[in-house]
Amino acid sequence: MKKNSGRGSFEGATPSEFNSGYDFGGQWSPSELELARRQARKKKNQRSALIAALSSFLVLGTLVIVIIITSLESSFISTDLFKTRITHLNV
């Protein structure tokens, strides 16, 4: 006796045996409503990707500017303090 695993009835069947002649109303094609939904989804996904890219660019750009300004200020302050200390030693 053959063990039934839930898929056993289709094992070894060729495509013509599996389809058994019924085509379920012909070849499937999406409806106009489905095509409109796909188009709307595509536009929404493109808009979301654009917003994500722009916000990432703005955040990273701001971070780079802050790091540059901070490093310039710290180097200016340390250079200024260093010059001040040297002038006091030479007096």
Backbone dihedral region of 6: left (phi > 0), alpha (psi from -120 to 50 degrees) or beta? Answer: left
pLDDT digits (tens, 9 = 90+) for 22-76: 667 778 899 999 999 999 999 999 999 999 999 999 999 999 999 988 888 766 6
- The CA distance from 64 to 19, in Å, is 62
b/e 60-90 (16+ beta carbons within 10 angstroms → b): eeeeeeeeeeeeeeeeeeeeeeeeeeeeeee
Task: Say if residue 1's pLDDT is above 50.
Answer: no
What is the mean predicted confidence (pLDDT) over 15-28? Answer: 67
CA distance 48 to 37: 16
pLDDT given for residue 16 in this prediction: 56
Instruction: Note the pTM of the prediction, 2 decimals.
Output: 0.50
Q: Determine the Cα angle at 65 with ends 62 and 66, to 5°.
A: 85
